[in-house]
Structure 1
Amino acid sequence: MALSESFVNQHVKNWIDGWNKHDIKTVLSMYSENIEFSSPKVKVVYPERTSSKISNQKELEEYWLKALKNNFPSLNFTPKEVLIQENKILLEYYATLDGKHRTSVIEKFEFQDGLITKSSVFYGSEEAI
């Protein structure tokens, strides 16, 4: 089932706002319990892990809380572009980590019944701002 433009716009707004407030509960409410999440940053937060994948909401919450506390305490997102394809959103945004540097990010979200069931994160180069 294709996502509507109004759903996508509201989802992106809520997702960005939740992240910028570091409101993990709000962000998590957009994800399925059995989320498939993949990001190279998983290995930054958990260097002992052999996989960059997370497969449930509880583990995702622990990862995000630890990342915000220990690795990225001033994380902020600025949206750049949104593309819609059927039940998927491709969101391009800047992740500002310290107020001085930002990284270009593309995140692919797949939805079922209004919730994210799969999320894959891809990082570009870091640049000074």
Structure 2
Amino acid sequence: MTNFAQAWLQAWNAHDLEEILSHYDKDVVFYSPVIRRINNDPGGCIHGKEALRAYFSKALIAYPELHFELYHILEGVNSVVLYYKSVNDMLSTEMMVLNEKGLVTEVRAHYK
């Protein structure tokens, strides 16, 4: 899981959209309170990689100084939780469910 987490973090910190998306399955489901703000979507949920591409594109524009600082990697069964410092120094966790190919199929993001 450490390799996955480091690659994910490096992609985000490089603002490399294609590399970021390489970690996600085409049928990913992504929940985040930030979706409510960026997409003006009260449900806070995105379905599918192409919708995720559009959301991440908006987020990278909205937060040009985006930089994540990884604090902890918590391993589960076919899942990982990344605990990190996010934009505007917010604390964040993302619980990611991984498929047999190691791609993310579901995300639950949380912010303090």
TM superposition score normalised by structure 1: 0.83
> Residues 3-49 of structure 1: CA distance to partner in whole angstroms, max 9, x if unpaired?
xxxxx1110010000000001111111110000100000111122x2
AA in 2 matched with 1:92: Y
Aligned to 1:127: none
Aligned to 1:46: 39
What secondary structure does 2:58 align onto?
A: helix
Name the CA distance, whole Å, in 2 between partners of 1:36 and 1:82: 21
1:86 is aligned, of 77, 96, 99, to 77
| Deviation for aligned residue 1:51 | 1.4
Identical counterparts, % of pairs: 26
What secondary structure does 1:117 align onto?
A: strand
> Residues 57-97 of structure 1: CA distance to partner in whole angstroms, max 9, x if unpaired?
0000100101111x2111100000111111110110001x3
1:67 is aligned, of 30, 52, 59, to 59
The runs of 4+ residues in structure 1 deviating greater than 2 Å are none
Name the CA distance, whole Å, in 1 between partners of 2:60 and 2:89: 16
Q: Which has the larger share of strand?
A: 1
AA in 2 matched with 1:15: W
Aligned to 1:112: 99
Name the CA distance, whole Å, in 1 between partners of 2:59 and 2:12: 12
TM superposition score normalised by structure 2: 0.95
What secondary structure does 1:76 align onto?
A: coil
1:102 is aligned, of 67, 78, 89, to 89
- Extract unaligned runs of 5+ from structure 2: none
AA in 1 matched with 2:67: N
